[in-house]
Every structure is written in C-alpha cells, then in structure tokens.
Amino acid sequence: MLSLALCMLLAGPALAAPQASGTFNILSFNVAGLPAILNGNDVPGDKTANTASIGRLFSTYNFSLIHVQEDFNYHATLYANDNHPYRTATSGGVPFGSGLNTLSNFYWVDFERTKWDTCSNASGADCLTPKGFTFMRVQVSEGVWIDAYNLHADAGTEPDDLSARAANLRQVSQHITTYSAGNPVLVFGDTNSRYTRAADIPSIFTTENGMTDPWVQIARNGVVPTPGAADIVCETLPSETTACEIVDKVWYRGAATVKLEATSFKYAGNMFLQENGDVLSDHNPVLVDFRWTLGEKLRMSDYHGGPHGNYKSDVPVLSGIQGPVVSSITLRGANRLDAVSVTLASGQTFSHGGTGGTATTLRLNAGERLTGATLCQAQRNGQTRIFYMMVTTSQGRSLSSGVQTGECKTMTAEDGWAIIGFVSRSGDEVDRLALVYASS
C-alpha cells in the first residue's frame, strides 16, 4: 500500500490560486451533413469539400467550444480538418447517429447522449435518426465547470411537429433541473423553434431554468418577440444583421460559484464561406463571447473520481445561507469511501453516499475551518470510485477514511476560504467528489 505522502507526491505540487476571471466563446453550427442523396440543403458545391472547409475554419478561428448538428456522413472529413484537442466520438451516420458532436479546447466529464422521448415524421423524417441532446460538464478553468447541452429538436410546423418539438425542449429543461442544479449552464443548438411561433416554447429555459438568451439580451435589448406575431425572417444567408430570428439558439446562466455574462452575439455566416462567396451550410452559425468570474461567496474545486452514481450538489441550498460555518464532518468507510457529510452550525446537514462502512466524526473548535482534502480514486467492478478521503483543518487536525491508492489529488482552500459542502456523484458509495468553498 502506498503512503499518503507518496499519494500527495503523485498528485503533483500544490497549485497557485485559481484564475479569478476569464473569457471564452461558443459556436453553434448545423453543418448540413445529411447525405446529398437525402438532402442537398440548397447549398452549392460538393458536401465533402464544404465540410472540409468548415473543419479548417474551426481550426483557424480556434473557437473555445463548438456544438455541431447534422454531423452525419461527412464526420470523418470534418474531424480530419480540425485540430481541437477534445472531440466527441461520432454516434454514426444516418440512420444510426444523432448528428450531434462537440469540438472543444476544454476538457469535459460526464458526457451523455439522450434520444428524444417524442419525435414526429409529419413534415419529414425526424424519427429516421435518434435525434436528441447531449450533455457534458466542461472545465473552462480550475474550479470552473459549466454544464453544456447540445440539441437538435424536431423540425416542421404540422401539429404533430409542434407538439414533438415542445416535448423536446421540455425534456432538456427537465434534465437541467435534475442534473444541473446549482451549476452554470449553456444550452445551444438547432432548436427549430421561433419565439414568434405561438406553439413553440423557446422561453422555457428562461421561465423554468433561469436562463438568458443572448440574442434577446444583446440584439433585442431584452425584448422577447411576441408569440403569434409575424416571423422576423432573415432576408439573406448569411444574414447581415442579428435583428432577424433564426432557429439556431443559445441560452446561458451563471451560478453562485461562477458568474457568466454574454458580452457579444453575432450570426457568423460571413466567417464560413466558400472561395467564391457561397455559403457552406444552409444555417447561420451563432457565435457568442462570454466572460466568467469566480463567485464572491461560493466556489468549487475540480472533480476527482468516476462518472457513476446519482448527481447531487449542495450549492443550491448553500447559496441561500449567509456565512455558512461547518461544525462537524463525518466520513464513512472501510475499503472505500462510503459517505461524507458536513453539519453546519445552523444544524443543517449535507450528506453524500450510502450508509455502509464505519462512521468517524471530527467536531470543529470555535474558529476552526476545513481547509483541505486529499481524495484517492481507483476502480472497483470496472467503475472508478473514491477509495480514500482525508480532510485537514486550520488547526492542523485531520480525519480520514477508506484505503489509499496511487491516484490521489490534494485540494486546498484559498486563504480566507473554507470547505463547507460538496458536489458529488454517488450511490451506496462515493463515486466522484468536488469541494464547495465559502469565504470565511
């Protein structure tokens, strides 16, 4: 068995204070990758050549995070011409794949593909492929994790299309409520919806998930188009103005741990043209610049552990507590870490994991704070879990549980901050853990 000192050595040297703010951009682009025999998209030129140009331009512009839709049968060409370090594996061409992929300068965890519960063939062949949405938790910087959703909703305007599309957006909204509680969130993709179309519900992400549409915010000064009004159609492709409404959309929200602000919004069609000036796709790509800032009262560490178990975050409750102070911490474990819980001075308890193992509790003295934690991970039954946890305090005391492994990570609160909760994935045991810090 390796010593804790060796585990900490393997984890690397202590990191400097995390970056407090930064910028990134996102691009949403339907790349028109349906086979030409099925859909020519009314775009001049050869689809393979057009896709190669799109991939090269992705590399040239070096966008931070790209969501593509209709990335079907020309996927290999797209990736062969792009150099982003992180890219999702294709789910296949027509009729096997969803056409949804992500190209990114950022690392991510928890990537998932979800098929729509409802689809309609009333106006086309939306049920031909397993369209739906993807989810990933993207690391923009140390301790800065943003949940990113990519979607391609049902097309058409027949009653069954409208009903299916509304169900699609509700499905994403419900996923955000369950799996992204307390987290910053980005939703962007081809929604096939318009605010002016009375039966469409693009406002659901604002009303149900507290999100902002940067097109509404920036291009329309916060004025949402009236449902049932005439469509605000773009007169040209690419569009020369953002005054018109397209179906490719973006929504965002910050959180107590990370603030997000959209600083610019544009339709980027003029950045994706053939040499003769023709477009490369029948969709306007959407480009949004963002600025992020670490929270003033709550912050997070990076994650350690595996992508298993149920998601739980203490952030939503902690964000409503003024000056939370930990009075005790309890670890449960034996061969692995079964559970961790903290109790605040107010009496509130936040627990993660199961009920197995032996429980040990450390009660903090007046003015004593939890300042650091070491987490060790390993695999059990093919799944990565947290095998060991040790917490340390401002008075040099510690508490540990589980068994050390060779994959350990030590995280330390900045000066003036203390551990007061967690974000986890867990079941009977703790699979993944991040620390939540509060200013003290």
Contact criterion met (CB below 8 Å) for 103 and 132: no
**Virtual CA dihedral for 51, 55, 60, 61, nearest 10 degrees?**
90
Using the predicted structure, report yes or no on whether residue 373 has a pLDDT greater than 90: yes
Q: Does the pLDDT value for residue 363 go beyond 70?
A: yes
- What is the sign, positive or negative, of the torsion defined by CA atoms of 204, 206, 208, 209? positive
Tens of pLDDT along 48-66? 999 999 999 999 999 999 9
- Report CA 12 to chain centroid distance, whole Å: 27
**1-15, 193-207, 352-366: least confidently modelled range:** 1-15
Instruction: Look at residues 158, 96, 107 and name the one whose alpha carbon lies nearest to residue 136.
Output: 107
Taking only the tens place, the pLDDT of each residue in 244-287 is 999 999 999 999 999 999 999 999 999 999 999 999 999 999 99
pLDDT of 12 strictly over 80: no
Provide the pLDDT for residue 35: 85
Q: Report the sign of the C-alpha dihedral through residues 288, 294, 298, 303, in that order.
A: positive
pTM of the model as a whole: 0.94
Question: What number is the average pLDDT over the span 13-24?
Answer: 75
User: Distance between CA atoms of 102 and 208, rounded to whole angstroms?
Assistant: 25
Mean pLDDT of 107-119: 97
Confidence bin at 42 (pLDDT 50/70/90) = confident
Helices (H), 71-129: 75-80
CB 153, CB 165: distance < 8 Å: yes
pLDDT above 60 (res 2)? no
Q: Can you tell me the distance from the alpha carbon of 132 to that of 287, in angstroms, rounded to the nearest whole number?
A: 22
Tell me the pLDDT of the chain averaged across its residues.
94
**Rg over CA atoms, the chain:** 24
**162 SS3 class:** helix
pLDDT at 9 over 50: no
Cβ atoms of 316 and 181 within 8 Å: the answer is yes
* Sheet containing 107-115, strands listed edge to edge, beginning at the edge strand earlier in sequence: 107-115, 132-141, 144-152, 185-190, 248-253
Taking the C-alpha atoms of residue 232 and residue 239, their distance in angstroms, rounded to an integer, is 12
Strands 21-30, 65-69: parallel, antiparallel or unpaired by DSSP?
Answer: parallel
pLDDT tens-place string over residues 147-166:
999 999 999 999 999 999 99
Average pLDDT over residues 336-349: 97
Looking at residue 38, its pLDDT comes to 67
pLDDT value of position 6: 39
| Model confidence at 197: pLDDT above 70 | yes
pLDDT tens for each residue of 395-434: 999 999 999 999 999 999 999 999 999 999 999 999 999 9
Give the tens place of pLDDT for each residue, 121-138. Answer: 999 889 999 999 999 999
* Amino acid found at 288: V
Q: pLDDT tens for residues 176-190?
A: 999 999 999 999 999
E-state strands within 153-212: 185-190
Q: Which pLDDT score is estimated for 359?
A: 97
Cβ atoms 185, 176 nearer than 8 A = yes
3-state secondary structure of 216: helix
Beta bridge partners of 304: 433
H-state helical runs in 32-115 = 47-61, 75-80
